[in-house]
Amino acid sequence: MEKLLERFALKILPIANAIGQQRHLQAVRNGLISILPLTIIGSFFVILLNVPIAGYAEMIAPFSAALDIPFRYTVGIMALYSAFTIGSFLGKSYKLDGVTSGFLSMLATILMVVPINLKEGIDTAGNAVNAGRYIPIAPLSSQGLFGAIVASLLAVEIYRFTKERKLEIKMPDGVPPVVSSSFAALLPTLFIVLVFWIPRHFFDFDLNGVLTVLISPLKTFLTGNNLLGGLLTQFMICLFWAMGIHGHAVLGPIIRPFWDQAIIENADLFQGGMSAFQLPNIFTEQFYQWYAQMGGTGATLALCFLFLFSKSSYLKQLGKLSILPGIFNINEPLIFGAPIVMNPLLAVPFILVPIVNTILIYIVTILGWMPRMMVKPPFTLPAPFGALVTSNWNIVAFIMVFVCFIASLAIYYPFFKLFEKNQLKQEADTVAQANMMEV
């Protein structure tokens, strides 16, 4: 089994490294991670608007519109922020100016949005709206995330093309660098305007719409209600980790845009009045964090707990060192300390436990006993509280964390006992050898 795992790792490692180091995928991953402060803070305002206390809604009713603004201008235009960060990271990977790459990417994203041309109207508060052009927010939210990703990558490639072909306005020596770089960006800006403006506004080509149609089957498979997609995601992430490959680093650039789009879509619909039980996406990243992977990938918090009561001095000490990080969903000390990497005895439950937990929570969710996730708090939030907050304070969700923990303990236990037996034998052999050397 161990040799089989090693052979498989040797074959898959070059592919995994190629995916993880591909500059466009790296830019997408790093760009989306960079806007985490915005999405987390925006999610807190969703929580603030939906505290389940009798009379709370009536109390904050006069301020609800104002309290909704931080959500709308953080999470609500995440595609625009993502465009800048993705473009900036990709530009820097080509040794281009990061700020210029970022704002050109934002420009391309905005040009894809057809403005609303109002002659007259009223806003949601009933006030008269002046005539003019208005940019709708919806295409700049999670709905337009994939469009923003594609626009950012294309914009930076156009920028790179013009730089390599020397298609830029050069200023004389002695001109301040800021001024020089601004003039150097004039022609790339013109090209990007033409490339994105003409198809959208003269030929009515909707890049967002096309991408939505193309990726909707994959989105539904990975983050909707498809159990097979949820299980496949868990299996691949855990398998990569068991082989010593950072599963989230490899799969993150591919699946994170779907995760982010799914949770923001849920949050937006929930904020619009939809019940958390009716939200469209079950398999968000938060679903995995608080249930399938409590304590980190592989749901290793249960294994930490077992190590605490081990007869092996090494495992007991490792349990003490790992339990606190594990409570906050950080488990690298355990993965590499046990180790779980390239260890078939622990790799089996490491992969199996998240799959079982996923099935358990999926069944409870489909039966309508607990809601979908609808906000994005920090991943370091301990599982019971993370589940409570992300499920609109649902007590069943809180309880299911402990159900999953007990299931995890039950699955890990027999493998733990075998592993402990081997570890005790090794420790006994080490002591015997030390005694022989003293004699």
Confidence tier at 183 by pLDDT (50, 70, 90) = confident
The pLDDT, as a whole number, for residue 247 is: 74
Amino acid residing at 335: I
| Contact present, 301 and 327 (Cβ < 8 Å) | yes
The pLDDT, as a whole number, for residue 207 is: 83
Confidence tier at 300 by pLDDT (50, 70, 90) = very high
The pLDDT, as a whole number, for residue 54 is: 74
Whether the per-residue pLDDT at 407 is higher than 60: the answer is yes
Distance from C-alpha of 68 to C-alpha of 270, rounded to nearest angstrom:
12
- Residue 277, beta-bridge partner list: none
- Residue 128, beta-bridge partner list: 122
Quick one: average pLDDT of 96-107?
Answer: 92
Share of the chain above pLDDT 70, in %: 89
The pLDDT, as a whole number, for residue 1 is: 53
Which structure tokens are listed for 33? 């991670």
- Condensed to tens digits (0 to 9), the pLDDT of residues 12-37 reads 666 666 666 788 988 988 898 898 88
- Condensed to tens digits (0 to 9), the pLDDT of residues 301-348 reads 999 999 999 999 999 999 999 999 999 988 888 888 888 888 888 989
Which structure tokens are listed for 92? 């820097």
- Condensed to tens digits (0 to 9), the pLDDT of residues 269-282 reads 998 889 999 999 99
The pLDDT, as a whole number, for residue 305 is: 94
| Contact present, 332 and 282 (Cβ < 8 Å) | no
Which structure tokens are listed for 353? 């436990």
| Contact present, 112 and 150 (Cβ < 8 Å) | no
Quick one: average pLDDT of 2-13?
Answer: 59
CA-angle at 212, arms to 207 and 216, nearest 5°: 155
Nearest to 292 by CA among 283, 280, 305, 304: 283
Which pTM does this prediction carry?
A: 0.77
The pLDDT, as a whole number, for residue 352 is: 94
Whether the per-residue pLDDT at 9 is higher than 70: the answer is no
Whether the per-residue pLDDT at 145 is higher than 60: the answer is yes
Whether the per-residue pLDDT at 199 is higher than 80: the answer is yes
The pLDDT, as a whole number, for residue 356 is: 96
Quick one: average pLDDT of 58-78?
Answer: 85
Q: Which residue has the higher pLDDT, 314 or 243?
A: 314
Classify the phi-psi angles of 375: left when phi > 0, otherwise alpha if psi is within -120 to 50, otherwise beta. Answer: beta
The pLDDT, as a whole number, for residue 408 is: 96
Quick one: average pLDDT of 62-91?
Answer: 89
Distance from C-alpha of 322 to C-alpha of 197, rounded to nearest angstrom:
54
| Contact present, 50 and 117 (Cβ < 8 Å) | no
Quick one: average pLDDT of 101-112?
Answer: 93
- Condensed to tens digits (0 to 9), the pLDDT of residues 221-232 reads 888 888 999 999
| Contact present, 145 and 156 (Cβ < 8 Å) | no
Which structure tokens are listed for 285? 């990243």
Quick one: average pLDDT of 238-263?
Answer: 81
Computed over every residue of the chain, the mean pLDDT equals 85
Chain center to CA of 241: 17
